[in-house]
Amino acid sequence: LLRNNSTDLGEQGMWAMHNWIRQSLLANKSFDKFVRELITAQGSIYTTGPANYYRVHKDSSMLAEATAQLFLGVRIECAKCHHHPFEKYSQDDYYGLAAFFARTGTKNSEEFGLFGREQAVIVRDTGDVRSPRTNQVLQPRPLDGKTVDHPFDRRIPLADWLTDKHNEQFAKSVANRYVGY
């Protein structure tokens, strides 16, 4: 589900992610801590396994869609273009979730040599998401929640909300995945 493969991540990125997942399972890391580390990851894609989540899902829209589906069991792709009369989530919901990832990006790094093609996941000071309907900048907002921001990293309140013990969508999604397997 995390799309950890060498096609998307290259050999070094794939092994970094694999080793992080393996170590997390061996350490019996709680799933909420696992998700928190994944959502707030930054650093080298070769040495920080969860940073590869941002290499697979390259922009704020892809990250919002993957995060909602993986950890909430919700497919919000349709809300990117329109608010369907039978769907719960609107475009503002979609882009509010995407705003959490708008300041996350990658930069090239030469830590592993000029030809190593290493990248680092970074958090920028700027970057916003605009509503395609109104062209207004949308603030980060969890699904069914209120706007929230963070002075350094917008993903921190997202990780807090996602893994909160009162977030029933997260709990149901995790339980359904385990039961499904």
β 137-138/118-123 pair status: unpaired
Q: For residue 180, what pLDDT band results from cuts at 50, 70 and 90?
A: confident
C-alpha 14/C-alpha 20 separation (Å) is 10
Contact 137, 148 (CB under 8 A): no
Render pLDDT for 38-49 as a digit per residue (tens, 0 to 9): 999 999 999 999
Quick one: pLDDT band at residue 144, thresholds 50, 70, 90? confident
Q: What is the DSSP letter of 88?
A: S
Average pLDDT score over residue span 103-125: 80
Residue pair 123/143 in contact by the 8 Å Cβ criterion:
no
What are the DSSP calls for 112-172, one per residue?
T-TTS-EEEEEE-S---EE-TTT-PEEPP--TTS-----SS-THHHHHHHHT-TT-HHHHH
pLDDT at position 1 over 60: yes
Q: For residue 24, what pLDDT band results from cuts at 50, 70 and 90?
A: very high
DSSP letter (8 states) at residue 105: E
Q: What is the mean pLDDT of residues 21-50?
A: 95
pLDDT confidence band for 56 (50 / 70 / 90):
very high
